[in-house]
Amino acid sequence: MENHSDTQKFGNAERIAKTEVRDILQVVFFALKEKGYHPINQIVGYILSGDPTYITSHKNARGLISKLERDELLEEIVYFYLNEHLLH
């Protein structure tokens, strides 16, 4: 039986996934901006609701973001914020 009280560690595969999440977020952000949307509001709306119509189909942004789980997006955003503002 596994001990679920131990802290789990993410390996190298997790870093590759984080890179993909960042790349997708970057494409989505700039596609929304190019179409005249407020990217932060649109991405937050998508994360909260799961409704893909918050994301434009311009530059396949909607298709790309659909590849990711919303919790992956949120994790990357929180990680980036904490790493940049609290951990240094």
Q: What is the mean pLDDT of each run of 10 residues along the chain (88 residues)?
A: 60 62 94 98 97 97 94 89 81
Q: Is 28 left (phi over 0), alpha (psi -120 to 50) or beta?
A: alpha
Q: How far apart are CA 8 and CA 14, in angstroms?
A: 12
Q: What confidence score (pLDDT) does residue 88 get?
A: 61
Question: 82: Cβ–Cβ under 8 A, 6 or more apart, which residues?
Answer: none
Return the pLDDT at 48. Answer: 96
Backbone angles phi, psi at 26, to 5 degrees: -65, -45
- Phi and psi at 10, nearest 5°, equal -90, 140
pTM: 0.77
Rounded Cα–Cα distance for residues 85 and 1 (Å): 39
Instruction: Give the other-Cβ count within 10 Å of 33's Cβ.
Output: 14
Whole-angstrom distance, CA of residue 69 vs CA of residue 88:
28
Residue 66's pLDDT is 94
